[in-house]
């Protein structure tokens, strides 16, 4: 199946094709991502039974004249994390927990809010209806205080019940965008045709999309919306067709991560990242590749360890003679973030990544992708990325 427009000659993608062949060989040999583990989509009856078990424990405590408490796995400690190169960050099976007590002034409100949201989830699942985290917040914005409280509780409930958020019948509004050679059908039958010139919003129901079709040679994850839009304006997608580009507009939301994971699972095309040469950009790339602590209980459904770092590499700054005026000194916060990343378990299996981060640490400088405009206004789309793709400039 062909998409329009036509990009470079087939020989241009020789390095990308070779990379894909090695990824497929690793999959066949069991050296890449493996299936299994992590929370699976739960049936309505399973979700209802899990909520009923939580409430039964609370009633049992009350019957014993004990103050009820809700126990949740502690996802804030590295001691509760384990790392597998084929999956990413996961929670250990016997991790420490934290108790949300009903008789503690510090946690009584959180205890009540969890029960309120559990009640809402129970009704949603019973009636087979869906809502968004935003809608939950606006049912009583004064009670919740802010959206972050709702977001945190929904994630805690998902972890506590050991089911993906979708099984709770709670959707999140997508902020991500996608463009390029891709078609699919939404759960309600809506046909979505992505184009090389206009972005489409990432679906809020990734689990429900089906009949995905693409002939893309690669998928490019772009850290920032401004860079994503610039690539569209420069006709990057058309000139590098067939390809797909996606952005989570900074730290990716759940739906953007689910989409990237689904595209990998279905097509196994090479996936590259384009992020700023700074600790924040590296952190975002690590979330796509290896996951985050907060969502580590769902790593199998979200991470894509096959992702490669295309740019902007700290070593590119010197190699391309990017002027010092275009660079930014690392702040104390940047240095702390960089030190934190260098200590993470997945860096030990990425020696080339470590080298790049050490170059940044030694230079005490960082660079945004926009620094390439000091070379020429369209250097990113016409020179930098095409050369990287043609000659295998990823790590």
The catalytic residues are 138
Task: Tell me the C-alpha distance between 352 and 369, whole Å.
Answer: 20
Handedness of CA 135, 140, 141, 147 (dihedral sign): negative
The span from the first CA to the last CA of the chain, in angstroms, equals 31
Q: Over the range 285-315, which residues count as b (16 or more CB within 10 Å of their CB) and which as e?
A: bbbbbbbbebbbbbbbbbbbbbbbbbbbbbe
Nearest to 89 by CA among 75, 104, 102, 74: 75
Per-residue tokens: 140: 């009583």
Task: Tell me the C-alpha distance between 129 and 109, whole Å.
Answer: 27
Q: What share of the chain is helix, strand, coil (3-state, %, to 5)?
A: 50, 15, 35
Spell out the alpha helix ranges (H) of the chain. Answer: 14-28, 44-63, 108-127, 133-139, 141-144, 147-161, 225-233, 236-239, 254-267, 279-290, 314-319, 332-342, 351-363, 379, 385-391
CB 171 within 8 A of CB 205: yes
Nearest to 157 by CA among 188, 127, 133, 189: 133
Residue 92 has what DSSP assignment? -
Residue 267 has what DSSP assignment? H
| Surface-to-core class of residue 215, CB atoms within 10 Å of its CB (0-12 exposed, 13-18 middle, 19+ buried) | middle
Nearest to 253 by CA among 209, 203, 191, 214: 203
Task: Tell me the C-alpha distance between 187 and 172, whole Å.
Answer: 16
Residue 246's SS3 state is strand
The kind and range of the H/E element at 309 are strand 308-311
Residues contacting residue 47 through CB under 8 Å, at least 6 positions apart? 121, 125, 161, 163, 167, 168
């Amino acid at each position: 199946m062909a998409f329009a427009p036509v990009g470079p000659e087939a020989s241009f993608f020789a390095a990308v094709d070779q990379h894909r062949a090695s990824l497929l060989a690793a999959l066949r040999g069991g050296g890449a991502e493996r299936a299994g583990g992590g929370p699976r989509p739960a049936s309505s009856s399973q979700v209802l039974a899990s909520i009923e078990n939580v409430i039964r424990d609370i009633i049992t405590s009350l019957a014993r004249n004990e103050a009820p408490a809700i126990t949740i796995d502690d996802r804030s400690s590295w001691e509760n994390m384990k790392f597998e190169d084929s999956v990413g960050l996961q929670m250990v099976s016997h991790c420490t927990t934290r108790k949300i007590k009903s008789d503690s002034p510090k946690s009584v409100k959180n205890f009540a809010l969890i029960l309120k949201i559990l009640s809402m989830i129970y009704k949603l699942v019973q009636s087979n209806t869906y809502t968004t985290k935003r809608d939950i917040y606006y049912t009583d914005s004064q009670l919740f205080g802010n959206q972050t409280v709702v977001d945190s509780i929904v994630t805690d409930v998902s972890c506590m019940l050991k089911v993906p958020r979708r099984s709770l019948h709670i959707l999140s509004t997508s902020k991500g965008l996608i463009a390029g050679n891709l078609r699919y059908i939404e759960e309600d039958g809506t046909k979505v045709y992505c184009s090389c010139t206009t972005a489409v919003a990432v679906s809020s129901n990734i689990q429900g999309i089906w009949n995905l079709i693409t002939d893309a040679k690669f998928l490019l994850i772009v850290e920032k919306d401004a860079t994503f839009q610039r690539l569209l304006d420069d006709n990057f997608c058309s000139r590098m067709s067939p390809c797909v580009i996606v952005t989570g507009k900074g730290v990716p939301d759940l739906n953007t991560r689910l989409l990237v994971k689904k595209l990998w699972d279905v097509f196994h095309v090479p996936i590259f990242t384009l992020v700023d040469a700074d600790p924040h950009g590296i952190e975002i790339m690590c979330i796509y590749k290896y996951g985050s602590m907060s969502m580590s209980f769902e790593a199998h459904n979200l991470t894509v360890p096959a992702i490669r770092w295309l740019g902007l590499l700290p070593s590119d700054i010197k190699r391309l003679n990017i002027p010092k005026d275009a660079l930014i000194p690392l702040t104390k916060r940047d240095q702390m973030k960089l030190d934190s990343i260098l200590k993470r378990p997945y860096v030990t299996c990425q020696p080339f990544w470590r080298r790049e981060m050490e170059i940044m640490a030694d230079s005490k400088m960082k660079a945004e992708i926009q620094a390439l405009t000091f070379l020429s206004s369209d250097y990113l789309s016409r020179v930098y990325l095409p050369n990287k793709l043609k000659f295998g400039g990823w790590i």
